[in-house]
Amino acid sequence: MLGVYNPARARLKLLLTFGGLAVLAAAIWWGNANLSSYNLRILNLAGINAILAVSMNLIFGFTGLFSLGHAGFMAVGAYTCALLTLPVATKDSIFLLAPLAWPFSVITLPPIAAVVCAGATAGLMAYLTGFPVLRLRGDYLGIATLGFAEIIRVVANNIPSITNGALGLKGIPSFASNLWWTWGCVGITVFVISRLVNSVYGRSLLAVREDEVAAEIMGVNRTYHKTVAYVIGSFFAGVGGALMGSLVTTIDPKTFGFTLTFNILIIVVAGGLGSITGSVLTSVIYTVLLEALRPIEASWRIGPLRVPEIPGLRMVVFSLVLLVIILFYQRGLFGGREFSWDRVLDWIDRRRSRKQGVRA
C-alpha cells in the first residue's frame, strides 16, 4: 500500500491490469458462447463460491470474527432476490399454502435491482444482529451466529405468506447462469473488499484482529470496525445467496443448512485466512475438483476385477486433500499473501538479473 512511488512501474501495472481484465472478459465471452451448460454451471458455481469465500474472509480472515452465520445471510439474500424477480403470474401459481404478502405479490424488479436489494437486506440483518452478537468473542461468537443462521432457516420454514414455507420457491429467473453475472459480481466483491482491506480502515480491521484491547487503546473504535466488516461481508453473502438461488432456480429452507457455511469455511481456511487471492482461486479449485472427482465414485474394472461404485468416495478423497493442506500449509495455500503485479515484476527482474550474472 505504502511503498516508494515509481511512475514507470505504476503505468506498467495499470497496463497489465487492463490487459488482464481484457483477457478475462474475452474468456467470459468465449465461455458463455462455447461451453456446455454443465461446464458453465460449474464455473458459475465457482464464481458464487468465490463471492461467498471472499466475503467470509473479510469477516473471519481479516477482522478475526469467527462468524458462522453465512448460510443465514445467504438465505436472506436468496429469498429477497427470488421474491423480487419472480413474475407475478408464477408467484400466484406457487403460493399454495398462503397467499403471498404485499408488496411482494405485486412487484417484479429487474435482476440488478433485486440483487442489490438482496445484499442490502442481508446487510441490514447483519447490522441488527451485530449489535448484540459482536460483543461476543471467539467460539462464543461462532455459536451465536450459527444459532442466528438456524433461526433464519426455521423462520423461513414457518412464514408461508412470504417464503412459501417448506415448499420453497420454484422457477426463479436464472439470470445467474450467465458468466457475466457471476464473475462480474466476483469482480465487484474483490474490488470493494480489497480496497477496504488495503485502506487505513483495513489496517484498523487487522489491528482489531491482532489485539482488540491494544487497538482500542490506540483510538480504534472496536465496535464500529467490527460492524463495518460484518455488514459488508454479509452484504456480499446476500448477493452470493441471491445468485445461487437464481442459478439453481429453486430454493427452500433446507438449501441453507449449516453445511453450506462449513463448505465456505473450508475454502477460506484452505485458501488462507487474510488472502483474497487464496479465497478466489481455492473456490475455483474446490468447485471444479468436487465435480472432477465424480468418476471415482463410479464402478470401474481392473482386468477381471470389478470395483463396485462407492457413492461418497470423493468426499473421502477431499478430506484427505484437506488434511494434507492443513498439515503442510498451516496458514492455507496462500498464507496471508496476495497476488500483485509488483510481486510478478520483481520475480521477473530477479530472474533476469540472475541470468545476466551467469553470463557475465
Partner 1 sequence: MKEPKELSVRGLTMRFGGLTAVRDFELELARGELVGLIGPNGAGKTTVFNVVTGVYRPTAGSVSAAGVDITGWRPDRVCRQGIARTFQNIRLMKSLSVLDNVIVGHRLRLKSSLPAAILRTPGYVKEEQSMARECLELLDALGLVRYANAPAGGLPYGEQRRVEVARALATRPRVLLLDEPAAGMNPSESMALCQFIQRVRSDFDLTVLLIEHDMSVVMGICERITVLDHGETIASGEPADIQANQRVIEAYLGVGFKNVAAH
Query: Which alpha helices (DSSP H) does 87-198 contain, by range?
Result: 88-94, 111-133, 138-158, 160-163, 179-198
CB of 189 to partner 1, least distance (A): 12
Residue 199 lies near partner 1 (rule: CB under 8 A): yes
Q: Given the complex with partner 1, which of 220 and 248 has the nearer CB atom?
A: 220
39-65 as b/e: b if 16+ CB within 10 A: ebbbbbbbbbbbbbbbbbbbbbbbbbb
Q: Closest separation between CB of residue 240 and partner 1, Å?
A: 19
Rounded Cα distance between 262 and 241, Å, is 15
Q: Compose the 165-194 pattern: x for residues touching partner 1 by CB under 8 A, - for all others.
A: ---------------------------x--
- Give the shortest CB-302-to-partner 1 separation in angstroms: 50
| 266 touching partner 1, by CB under 8 A | no
Rounded CA-CA distance 160/146 in Å is 23
How many alpha carbons lie under 13 Å from residue 295 in its C-beta half-sphere?
5
Q: Name residues contacting partner 1, limited to 96-155 (CB under 8 A).
A: none
CB of 192 to partner 1, least distance (A): 6
- Binding status of residue 207 toward partner 1 by CB under 8 A: yes
Positions 210 through 239 that interact with partner 1 (CB under 8 A)? 210-211, 213-222, 228
Position 7 contacts partner 1 (CB under 8 A): no
Cβ–Cβ < 8 Å for 55, 63:
no
Per CB under 8 A, the list member of 106, 200, 305, 360 interacting with partner 1 is 200
CB of 206 to partner 1, least distance (A): 6
Counting residues that bind partner 1 (by CB under 8 A) gives 26
| Residues facing residue 300 across a β-bridge | 307
Which CB atom, from 64 or from 168, has the smaller least distance to partner 1? 64
Let me know how many helices (H) and strands (E) the chain has, helices first: 15, 2
Closest approach of partner 1 to the CB of residue 195, in Å:
5
Helix (H, G, I), strand (E, B) or coil at 162: helix
> What is the dihedral angle through the alpha carbons of 284, 273, 119, 1, rounded to the nearest 10 degrees?
-100
The residue ranges that bind partner 1 (CB under 8 A) are 1-2, 192, 195-196, 199-201, 203-204, 206-207, 210-211, 213-222, 228, 336
